[in-house]
């Protein structure tokens, strides 16, 4: 049995509630050793992982890891939110009673870390000193060293964050036990994995994975699911949002845009975007966050404020290259300390590669291993077309490595939000951008965000589904209550953000090409939105919002066919009428959906009938 007190004393971990929590779970999991970590331990832990072969070296002081081949994405089916109030059950949160969930997980975790080290990671999901700091402290226990290295990049890690809490007992208790990955029955009827956020106990228990979204508990489980629940009870919003600033050098003004796009649908790309060359003299984009934002009403200014609770980026590798996202490449260059997961790796040259990194894969196959560790040169005919990297392969790097990081990204006061945008992968119907000026219609738009699912979750790629506010996989409570909470939080602001719906993914039904070039050009749509909010352009009023006219959208230096432009700046009324029927079914599933949302729905439906 480990002498827990001795380890905690030596680490200077004094918070008695944390000590009690660590002692309890050390007993359950049966770990052989306990180690308290801080960000300063990073170099030593990396060396230990290299020595143990858990990490492989990448040229330039970077790192490579491979996760078990059945463990490469979030598992939505195995993820639950548990509370002791059945009224918290929603359509998407996989609600379970707290007591039985804790009992099941305690049983699965019993003795499951035997022979391993249990790392104690005290962390903070917030810039220190923020108004929401009371909800940001947590302690993750994990039996995986690579999880520690990732957490050190993704959150602020050190004992001081939990020793000096205003309320010493108020921290998220997060336990991660990897389990015996080859014997968990992933995807079968006897799947042993279970990922639970016991929201009303502020406890997170995840068993059976070492992949990011399932294992970095500060990020998705705390930063999103738990924050969403805490926000409901404490007047803030925890959302899967990117957060960026647009600086207009000519006027000296700065605008902040928060945006919810489903997983692997462009948040990282947009928040790191470079202005198109022709607009670069006047505008630039500043990065605040690419995956999570917490939003609240700031009484002093009457505005909605936001910050990014994370400390790093866990970005999709696929298609990241000099043209699509030079900022991301910059953030993972030599010296950044970045960690790659499940991309292709060359064991001789220690290089990495993923689909879309370059137009063609490297010609010389010598030394290249695919994401499963199999030699590419040995592939038989049938396997040649298979990707080298997993489609959900990722890179992990700290915010400070992002070249367009905003100077005030760490400011605990956050930044005022001028616009909230929603968007997903939608091959038809959704125009490039439609602005929405009414709060209820904006919230209604978020609730009815429909998109094609991606490889960020197991087994659902390409499927069309509704994804409220892009939070479907992270929903903590019922959708009707969630809508009410959104109306209440944003409704408090006297100076409210404008809403908009964007779509970079409309396709030509004939040959499937994207009608809008996307990436850097997406800034053009956001600039129009800012101008519209400022009253500088009027747009075309349609039943589903205001769309830019072709003259208003700045298309200088850009190539797009007239046919594509026409398609993305118009509304297909018949297709939208059909959509209204689907939305009605979708919204009808939700208990206690506010009347304001139904009114918004009926207003849009009636306007379409008249169109
Ligand atoms: P999560 O980290 O899973 O929450 O994803 P994310 O929303 O941050 O997604 P990300 O920005 O990493 O983009 C995922 C994929 O979408 C990448 O393969 C991008 O290349 C692609 N993508 C991003 N923006 C655009 C765009 O404007 N047009 C097109 N066609 N693809 C895009
Ligand atoms: C997502 O899937 O939305 C992510 C990555 O941001 S993960 O950490 O895997 O959830
Ligand atoms: Mn995400």
With a 6 A CB cut-off, is 74 part of the ligand 2 pocket? yes
Residue nearest to atom 4 of ligand 2 (CA): 263
Do 178 and 152 meet the contact criterion of CB atoms below 8 Å apart?
A: no
In whole angstroms, give the CA distance from residue 309 to residue 540. 37
Q: Please compute the mean of the pLDDT values over residues 67-72 and round it to a whole number.
A: 96
With a 6 A CB cut-off, is 289 part of the ligand 2 pocket? no
With a 6 A CB cut-off, is 532 part of the ligand 2 pocket? no
With a 6 A CB cut-off, is 265 part of the ligand 2 pocket? no
Long-range interactions of 528-537: CB distance < 8 A, separation 24+: 528/433, 528/552, 528/553, 528/554, 529/257, 529/419, 529/421, 529/433, 529/435, 529/498, 529/500, 530/246, 530/255, 530/418, 530/419, 532/435, 532/498, 533/418, 533/419, 533/435, 533/498
Chain centroid to Cα 526, Å, comes to: 21
pLDDT of residue 296: 98
* Burial of 577: CB neighbours in 10 Å, binned 0-12, 13-18, 19+: middle
- Strand partners of residue 74: 457
pLDDT of residue 460: 78
Name residues with Cβ closer than 5 Å to ligand 3, which is an ion: 263, 291
In whole angstroms, give the CA distance from residue 567 to residue 508. 9
Three state DSSP letters for 89-144: CCCCCCEEEHHHHHHHHHHHHCCCCCCCEEEEEEEECCCCCCCCHHHCEEEEEECC
Q: Please compute the mean of the pLDDT values over residues 350-379 and round it to a whole number.
A: 97
pLDDT single digits (tens) 477-535: 999 999 999 999 999 999 999 999 999 999 999 999 999 999 999 999 999 999 999 99
Residue nearest to atom 1 of ligand 2 (CA): 263
Q: Among 220, 239, 269, which is best to mutate for testing ligand 2, by the most ligand atoms less than 8 A from CB?
A: 220
Residue nearest to atom 24 of ligand 1 (CA): 266
Chain centroid to Cα 347, Å, comes to: 31
Look at residue 453 and tell me whether its pLDDT is greater than 90: no
Identify the residues whose C-beta falls under 6 Å from ligand 1.
261, 263-269, 290-291, 315-316, 318-319, 324, 456, 504-505, 514, 518-519, 522
pLDDT single digits (tens) 184-232: 999 999 999 999 999 999 999 999 999 999 999 999 999 999 999 999 9
* Burial of 44: CB neighbours in 10 Å, binned 0-12, 13-18, 19+: exposed
Q: Please compute the mean of the pLDDT values over residues 70-85 and round it to a whole number.
A: 97
With a 6 A CB cut-off, is 206 part of the ligand 2 pocket? no
Look at residue 6 and tell me whether its pLDDT is greater than 80: yes
- Strand partners of residue 312: 398
Nearest residue to 282 via CA among 257, 253, 256:
253
Q: Among 204, 242, 456, which is best to mutate for testing ligand 2, by the most ligand atoms less than 8 A from CB?
A: 456
265 Cα: distance to centroid of ligand 1 (angstroms): 4
Residue nearest to atom 9 of ligand 2 (CA): 213
Average per-residue pLDDT for the chain: 97
pLDDT of residue 463: 78
With a 6 A CB cut-off, is 195 part of the ligand 2 pocket? no
DSSP assignment string, 479-509: HHHHHHHHHHHHHT-SBPPEEEEE-S--B-T
**How many of the other CB atoms lie within 10 Å of CB of 479?**
26
pLDDT single digits (tens) 322-360: 999 999 999 999 999 999 999 999 999 999 999 999 999
Residue nearest to atom 3 of ligand 2 (CA): 263
Global pTM reads: 0.97
With a 6 A CB cut-off, is 263 part of the ligand 2 pocket? yes
Cα within 13 Å of Cα(399), Cβ side: 28
Do 361 and 352 meet the contact criterion of CB atoms below 8 Å apart?
A: no
Q: How far apart are the first and last CA of the chain?
A: 73
**How many of the other CB atoms lie within 10 Å of CB of 358?**
11
Q: Among 211, 264, 273, 358, which is best to mutate for testing ligand 1, by the most ligand atoms less than 8 A from CB?
A: 264
With a 6 A CB cut-off, is 291 part of the ligand 2 pocket? yes
**Which residues 6+ apart lie within 8 Å of 302 measured at CB?**
493, 494, 495
With a 6 A CB cut-off, is 72 part of the ligand 2 pocket? no
- Strand partners of residue 243: 258, 289
pLDDT band with cut points at 50, 70 and 90 for residue 314: very high
In whole angstroms, give the CA distance from residue 507 to residue 88. 38
Angle between helices 439-447 and 479-491 (to 10 degrees): 150
Residue nearest to atom 10 of ligand 2 (CA): 213
Give me the helices (H) in 341-387, please.
none
pLDDT single digits (tens) 9-64: 999 999 999 999 999 999 999 999 999 999 999 999 999 999 999 999 999 999 99
Q: Which residues of 121-132 are buried (b: 16+ CB within 10 A; e: fewer)?
A: bbbbbbbeebbb
With a 6 A CB cut-off, is 423 part of the ligand 2 pocket? no
């Amino acid at each position: 049995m480990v002498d827990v007190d001795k380890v905690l004393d030596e680490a200077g971990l004094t918070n008695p509630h944390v000590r009690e929590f660590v002692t309890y779970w050390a007993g359950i999991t049966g770990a052989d050793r306990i180690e308290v970590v801080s960000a300063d331990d990073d170099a030593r832990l990396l060396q230990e992982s290299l020595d143990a072969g858990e990490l492989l070296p990448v040229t330039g002081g970077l790192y490579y890891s491979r996760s078990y081949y059945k463990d490469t994405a979030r598992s939505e089916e195995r993820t639950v939110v548990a509370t002791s109030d059945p009224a918290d059950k929603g359509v998407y949160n996989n609600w379970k009673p707290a007591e039985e969930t804790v009992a099941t997980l305690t049983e699965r975790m019993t003795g499951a870390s035997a022979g391993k080290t249990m790392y104690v990671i005290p962390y903070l999901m917030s810039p220190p000193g923020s108004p929401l700091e009371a909800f940001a402290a947590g302690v993750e226990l994990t039996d995986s060293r690579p999880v520690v290295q990732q957490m050190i990049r993704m959150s602020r890690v050190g004992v001081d964050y939990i020793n000096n809490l205003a309320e010493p007992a108020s921290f998220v208790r997060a336990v991660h036990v990897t389990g015996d990955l080859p014997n968990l029955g992933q995807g079968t009827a006897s799947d042993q994995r279970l990922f639970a956020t016991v929201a009303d106990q502020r406890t997170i228990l995840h068993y059976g994975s070492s992949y990011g979204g399932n294992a970095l508990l500060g990020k998705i489980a705390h930063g999103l699911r738990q924050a969403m629940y805490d926000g409901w009870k404490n007047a803030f919003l925890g959302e899967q949002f990117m957060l960026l600033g647009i600086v207009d050098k000519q006027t000296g003004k700065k605008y902040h845009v928060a945006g919810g796009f489903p997983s692997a649908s462009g948040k990282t790309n947009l928040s790191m975007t470079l202005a198109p060359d022709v607009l670069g003299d006047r505008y630039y984009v500043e990065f605040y966050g690419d995956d999570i934002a917490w939003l609240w009403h700031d009484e002093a200014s009457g505005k909605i404020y936001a910050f990014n609770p994370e400390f790093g980026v866990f970005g999709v590798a696929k298609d990241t290259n000099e043209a699509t996202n030079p900022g991301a490449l910059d953030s993972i260059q030599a010296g950044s300390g970045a960690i790659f997961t499940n991309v292709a790796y060359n064991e001789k040259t220690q290089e990495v590669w993923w689909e879309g990194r370059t137009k063609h894969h490297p010609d010389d196959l010598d030394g290249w291993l695919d994401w499963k560790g199999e030699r590419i040169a040995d592939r038989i005919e049938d396997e040649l077309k298979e990707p080298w990297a997993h489609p959900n392969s990722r890179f992990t790097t700290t915010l400070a490595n992002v070249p367009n990081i905003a100077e005030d990204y760490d400011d605990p006061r956050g930044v005022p939000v001028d616009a909230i945008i929603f968007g997903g992968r939608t091959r038809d119907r959704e125009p490039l951008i439609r602005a929405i000026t009414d709060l209820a219609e904006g919230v209604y738009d978020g609730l009815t965000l429909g998109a094609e699912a991606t490889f960020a979750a197991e087994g659902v790629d390409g499927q069309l589904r509704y994804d409220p506010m892009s939070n479907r996989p992270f929903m903590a409570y019922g959708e009707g209550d969630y809508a009410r909470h959104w109306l209440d939080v944003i409704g408090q602001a006297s100076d409210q953000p404008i809403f908009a719906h964007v779509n970079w993914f409309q396709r030509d039904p004939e040959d499937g090409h994207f009608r809008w070039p996307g990436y850097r050009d997406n800034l053009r749509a956001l600039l129009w939105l800012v101008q519209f909010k400022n009253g500088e352009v009027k747009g075309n009023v349609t039943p589903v919002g205001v769309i830019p006219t072709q003259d208003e959208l700045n298309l200088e230096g850009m190539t797009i066919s007239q046919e594509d432009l026409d398609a993305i700046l118009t509304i297909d009324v018949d297709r939208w009428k059909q959509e209204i029927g689907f939305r009605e079914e979708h919204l009808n599933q939700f208990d206690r959906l506010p009347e304001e949302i139904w009114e918004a729905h009926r207003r849009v439906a009636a306007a379409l009938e008249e169109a």
